[in-house]
Amino acid sequence: MKSTTVIKTSDVENFELKLRQAADTLRSGGLVAFPTETVYGLGADAFNEDAVRLVYRVKGRPADNPLIVHIASLHRAELFAKEIPFKGRKLADIFWPGPLTLVMAGKSNIPSVVTAGLSTVALRVPKNAKTLRLLELFGGGVVGPSANLSGKPSPTEAEHVLNDLDGSIDVLIDDGRTTIGIESTVLDVTFDPPLILRQGGLSREAIEKVIGHIELPGHGSVLGRSPGTHHRHYAPKAQLILVRESDSEKFQRLYEDFRRQKMNVAAITHSIRVSGTSHSTRYMENSAEEYARNIFRLLRECDILGVDVILVEEIEDRGIGAAVMDRLRRAAEC
C-alpha cells in the first residue's frame, strides 16, 4: 500500500511547489491522479513503460485497451504524432484545451503498452488550469485513463478516485467536481471523413460545424478500431432500466412493481415526476448537460445506498445527450 498524498487546489499555499513535486513524482515513475473538465485521470509518464504498466495493473484494465496521452498544448503533439492531418489541426486549434481526443498516426518510439500495439496514438489537451500547469512543468506526455477501477463509472470527484484507488496511487490533485462529467469525444482523424470512436463531451454537431461531415460509430466495423468501446463499462451494481422520455405511465408502473417486490428502487428523471418515491430519487433539469454532469456520481451513489434497480428517464439523443445515452445504454446492458 502506498500512502496517497492529496493536494487540494483550494489550498493555495505553496500550491506551485506541490505541483512541482507532483511533476517529480511522474518523472520518477509514480502515479498522479489529476482533474480534467471531463473526469479524473490516472496519470503516469507516457515514456516510462513500467509506470504505464502499473496504470493498467491498478485499474484492472485489459491490456488491449490503449491509453490517451495528455499534453500541455498542441506544440507537444509532435512528440507523439507522426503527422497531424489538416482537419485534426483545425479541430485542435479551436477545441484544445477541451473534451476532444484526436487519434493520429503515432511515432515509433511510443511504448507499445501505451497504444496497445496500435500504430496510432490518442492525444488530448485537457481544460483544467491546474492540470495544464502540471503538464507544462512535467514537460512530456502523461497517459490518463479515467481514474476508476475498470468497469466502474468514471470518477467526477476526488472522493470517487480515493474510493477506487486509495493506496495504489502516489498523488491525487483534488479540484472538486468536474464540469462536464463524461469523458472526451474520441475522433480518429487518420480517416477522411474522420470517424468518432467514442461519443463524449464535445458533440458531433460542434465538430461538424468546423470540418463538415464525420462518421459515427456503426456496428462491426468500428469495434475493431476502437478497442475500449467493447469492454464492460459504467456498470453500477444495480440493474439499470431505461424508460422512454415522458413515458410517465410505464415509469410509474415499473417503479411500483419493483417496490412491491421489496426492491430498493432509485429514479433519475427530468420530465417525469414519480409518486411515492424514496430518498433515492433525483429530478434533473431537462438538459443533457445536467445529465452528463451528474450521471456517474448518481450511479456511484446508488451503489453506496445499496440500490437494486435504477430507473432512468431517457434524454434526447443529440448534442452531448448522445454521449450520455451511449453511457446509459452500456450501463443498462450489464
In whole angstroms, what separates CA 285 from the centre of its chain? 22
Give the strand pairing for 309-313 and 239-243: parallel
Residues 77, 82, 85, 88, Cα dihedral to 10°: -30
Decide if residue 25 touches ligand TXA (CB under 6 A).
no
If one asks whether residue 198 binds ligand TXA (CB under 6 A), the answer comes out as yes
Backbone angles phi, psi at 222, to 5 degrees: -75, -30
Q: Which of residues 135-154 bind Mg ion (CB under 5 A)?
A: 146
29: left (phi over 0), alpha (psi -120 to 50) or beta: left
Q: How far is CA 139 from CA 7, 108, 134, 209, in A?
A: 20, 19, 8, 32
By CB under 6 A, name the one of 4, 9, 36, 190 that touches ligand TXA.
36
Q: Which residue is nearest to Mg ion (CB)?
A: 146
Q: Tell me the C-alpha distance between 99 and 202, whole Å.
A: 6
Shortest separation between residue 36's beta carbon and ligand TXA, angstroms: 5
| Residue of 79, 77, 139 lying closest to 102 (CA atoms) | 77
Nearer to Mg ion, 41 or 321 (CB): 41
Q: How far apart are CA 323 and CA 329, in angstroms?
A: 10
Contacted entry of ligand TXA, Mg ion, none for residue 4, CB cut-off 5 to 8 Å set by kind: none
**Measured from the CB of residue 296, what is the shortest distance to Mg ion in angstroms?**
10
Q: Decide if 310 contacts 238 (C-beta within 8 A).
A: yes
229 with 320: CB under 8 angstroms?
Answer: no
Q: Using the minimum distance from each CB to Mg ion, give the nearer residue, 39 or 211.
A: 39
> 179 or 184, CB closer to ligand TXA?
184
Q: Residue 137 — φ and ψ, nearest 5°?
A: -65, -35
Phi, psi of 230 (to 5 degrees): -100, 5
* Partner whose footprint covers residue 155, from ligand TXA, Mg ion, none (CB < 5 to 8 Å by kind): none
87-126 footprint of ligand TXA as x/- string (CB under 6 A)? --------------x-x-----------x--x-xxx-x-x
Q: Which of ligand TXA, Mg ion, none has residue 120 at its interface (CB below 5 to 8 Å by kind)? A: ligand TXA
98 binds, among Mg ion, ligand TXA, none (CB under 5 to 8 A by kind): none
227 binds ligand TXA (CB under 6 A): yes
Min separation Cβ 298 and ligand TXA, Å: 18
Scan residues 146-165 and list those touching ligand TXA (CB under 6 A): 146
Residue with smaller CB distance to Mg ion, 146 or 203: 146
> Where along the sequence are the contacts to Mg ion (CB under 5 A)?
146
Q: Which spans of this chain sit near ligand TXA (rule: CB under 6 A)?
A: 36, 38-39, 41, 65-68, 101, 103, 115, 118, 120-122, 124, 126, 144-146, 183-184, 186, 197-198, 226-229
